[in-house]
Amino acid sequence: MPAPLSFPFDNTYARDLPGFAVPWQPAAAPAPRLLHFNPSLARELGLPLADATPDDLAALFSGNTLPEGASPIAQAYAGHQFGQFSPQLGDGRALLLGEVIDGQGRRRDIAFKGSGPTPFSRRGDGKAAVGPMLREVLIGEAMHALGIPTTRALAVVATGEQVRRERPLPGAILTRVADSHLRVGTFEFFAAHAGPDQVRRLADYAIARHYPELAGADNPYLELLRAVAARQSSLVAQWMAVGFIHGVMNTDNMSIAGETIDYGPCAFMEAYDPATVFSAIDRQGRYAYHHQPDIAAWNLARFAETLLPLIDDNTERAVARATASIQVFSERYRQHWLKEMGAKLGLPPLTEADAALAEDWLELLQAQSVDFTLAWRYLGEAAAGEEGRLSSLFADGAALDAWLQRWRQHCAAADRAGDEAGASGTTRATRTAAMAQTNPWLMPRNHQVEAALDAAEQGDLTPFHRLLGALAEPCREQPRYADLAEPAPREFMRTFQTFCGT
């Protein structure tokens, strides 16, 4: 027997916050088989896996042989799900193995998802299926490649066991890396069950770990609220800019560190419609694309409620101060959105005065059901006078031409302003190049994701690995991946639904 691997763990959550989690062990996996492993992420984390064989990795990432230094815990949390408070959620199918400090000095969680029942499982089996775990890999890595803060997948192992869903499915465990697994719902759990002293300990922990610059502030808890609101405002603006629909923005799926977390029923927009909802369980459209900023603000209000006793002894004053802080979200969100839209249009950050340029473009896409990703991408070509691919997306060319004329005026005005400021002049080519760095060519197309996962479930991982490889460079147009860049057939999108908790 080789010596068990040792990870350089330093497990502050398990050590410094007793009572916030339950020590627990993963269930045994009968026949683990490695489906996915990210060696460069392992290196980034300083894990000694360079010589590990696929069998070693399968044993490790199934939980059958835990690395030395792990202190697996199931974390407690609560959450508002679709607006209703659930006082007791928690890691029902996840375990935090521990934390490591990565090459950048950043503390990262390493956690399992699908590793068996825990005291928080309620009626669930604690398990996960191959398809949804590989889906988390594809979407999470696509987000990472797009530069959007996200948890990442280190490995996926098939357990060799069937999990019982609507039909039996092959079981799997995902190993997830996150800045932390602190959620708005973690604060809600301790506010509901334990009171302000425990919330304060959690808040102090969150500040030390994610916002150390706030430690000496006059009112660090108010500042924490503002800081989380600020990070979420930037995150959600980035989602909107790439057409990402999270699908289940419950407060237990909102990270205090500001990462995208919990890839369940998420999917990307194809033909642009702001009311798009993919999740089968989101019947009211609560988490539709265009509701995401408001939902983030709503979730932040739930976060604020947990902090009120720490913000001020006087409740009225605490509420007034927290409310003012949450308003930061809407203002910041708007600024981030204007900046994102400016970059996507090949312009400086938009001002309120020219926000209509972006809004009217989006309206045009909606009116003609134009593919969101390709429209932006081909707009960059139009900056260099190549309008062929762009106009082929639009049925009504006159409406497009009218808008393009306005856009060209904005481009010319921005160029003049740049010249006056002595900036090196924007040429048509530099605008096109900049837009090609901002507007991805390749996104995880829903039909391609489904096809890759179906094949994986049948034992063929080739389409999965090809798609994953292609998504690593979403802005680079590579002819060999042209099929992956095609929008899904209309017929597919008409009935496409996503599912969570599977």
Phi, psi angles (nearest 5°) of residue 174: -100, 140
Residue 377's binding partner out of Mg ion, ligand AMP, none, with CB under 5 to 8 Å set by partner kind: none
Q: Which is nearer to ligand AMP, 72 or 126 (CB)?
A: 126
With CB under 5 to 8 Å by kind, the binding choice for 501 among ligand AMP, Mg ion, none is ligand AMP
Which region among 84-92, 273-281, 317-325, 437-445 touches ligand AMP (by CB under 6 A)?
84-92
**What amino acid occupies position 147?**
G
Give me the least distance between CB of 78 and ligand AMP, in Å please: 9
Binding residue for ligand AMP (CB under 6 A) from 11, 175, 253, 276?
A: 253
By a kind-dependent CB cut-off of 5 to 8 A, residue 440 interacts, out of ligand AMP, Mg ion, none, with: none
Kindly tell me which of 259 and 262 has the beta carbon lying closer to Mg ion: 262
From the list 124-132, 292-300, 385-393, 425-433, the region that binds ligand AMP by CB under 6 A is: 124-132
140 part of the interface to ligand AMP, by CB under 6 A: no
Closer residue to Mg ion (CB): 261 or 326: 261
Asked if 131 is part of the footprint of ligand AMP (rule: CB under 6 A), the reply reads: no
Query: What's the min distance (Å) between Cβ of 246 and ligand AMP?
Result: 11
Sign of the Cα pseudo-torsion (401, 404, 406, 412, in order): negative
C-alpha 27/C-alpha 118 separation (Å) is 9
Rg (CA), the chain: 23
Instruction: List C-alpha distances in Å: 249 to 114, 209, 280, 320.
Output: 20, 23, 14, 25
264 to 303, contacts with ligand AMP by CB under 6 A?
A: 264
Of 26, 63, 67, 90, which lies in the binding site for ligand AMP, with binding defined by CB under 6 A?
90
Element (H, E) at 404: helix 397-420
As measured in angstroms, the least distance from the Cβ of 305 to ligand AMP is: 20
Other beta carbons within 10 angstroms of residue 88's beta carbon come to 15
CB nearer to Mg ion: pick between 303 and 361: 303
Binding of ligand AMP by 91 (CB under 6 A): yes
List Cα–Cα distances, 288 to 280, 284, 398, in angstroms.
12, 9, 30
Taking CB under 6 A as the criterion, the residue among 26, 63, 72, 126 binding ligand AMP is: 126
Q: By the 8 A CB rule, do 93 and 128 touch?
A: yes
Beta strands in 106-178 (DSSP E): 107-113, 128-129, 152-164, 168-178
Cβ proximity to ligand AMP, 126 vs 293, nearer residue: 126
Residue 11: strand, helix, or coil: coil
- The contacts of residue 232 (CB under 8 Å, 6+ apart) are 254, 258, 296, 299, 300, 329
Q: According to the binding rule CB under 6 A, does residue 124 interact with ligand AMP?
A: yes
Q: How far is the CB of 155 from ligand AMP (least distance, A)?
A: 19
Interacting span for ligand AMP (CB under 6 A) from 88-96, 154-162, 467-475, 488-496 = 88-96
CB 76 within 8 A of CB 22: yes
Q: Identify which of residues 243 and 247 has a Cβ nearer to ligand AMP in the complex.
A: 247
Q: Quick one: 138 or 357, whose CB is closer to ligand AMP?
A: 138
SS3 261: coil
Binding site for Mg ion (CB under 5 A): 253, 262
Torsions phi, psi for 9 (to 5 deg): -75, 145
Which of ligand AMP, Mg ion, none does residue 220 bind to, with CB < 5 to 8 Å depending on kind? none
Residues 266, 271, 275, 280, Cα dihedral to 10° = -40
To the nearest whole angstrom, how small is the minimum distance from the Cβ of residue 105 to ligand AMP?
A: 30
The option from Mg ion, ligand AMP, none interacting with 241 (CB < 5 to 8 A, set by class) reads: none
**DSSP secondary structure code for residue 384 in this structure:** T
Phi, psi of 244 (to 5 degrees): -85, 135
Number of Cβ atoms within 10 Å of the Cβ of 305: 16
- Nearer to ligand AMP (CB atom), residue 125 or residue 161: 125
Which among Mg ion, ligand AMP, none contacts residue 387 (Cβ within 5 to 8 A by kind)? none
Which residues are tagged catalytic? 252
Closest approach of Cβ 480 to ligand AMP, in Å? 35
In the set 93, 209, 226, 445, which binds ligand AMP (CB under 6 A)? 93
Classify residue 200 by burial, with Cβ atoms within 10 Å: 0-12, 13-18, 19+.
middle
- Contact flag: residue 444 with ligand AMP (CB under 6 A): no
**Min separation Cβ 53 and ligand AMP, Å:** 30
Residue nearest to ligand AMP (CB): 124
Q: Using the rule CB under 6 A, is 63 a contact of ligand AMP? A: no
Task: Take residue 320 and report the two structure tokens written for it.
Answer: 């007034």
Neighbour-count burial for 41-58, b at 16+ CB within 10 Å, e otherwise: bbebbebebeebeeeebb
Tell me how far apart the alpha carbons of residues 97 and 45 are, in angstroms, rounded to a whole number.
Answer: 14
Nearer to Mg ion, 253 or 439 (CB): 253
**Integer angstrom CA distances of residue 210 from 11, 228, 255, 259, 405:** 15, 9, 11, 11, 46
By CB under 6 A, name the one of 34, 49, 89, 145 that touches ligand AMP: 89
The residues that touch ligand AMP, with contacts defined as CB under 6 A, are: 89-94, 120-121, 124-127, 248, 252-253, 262, 264, 500-501
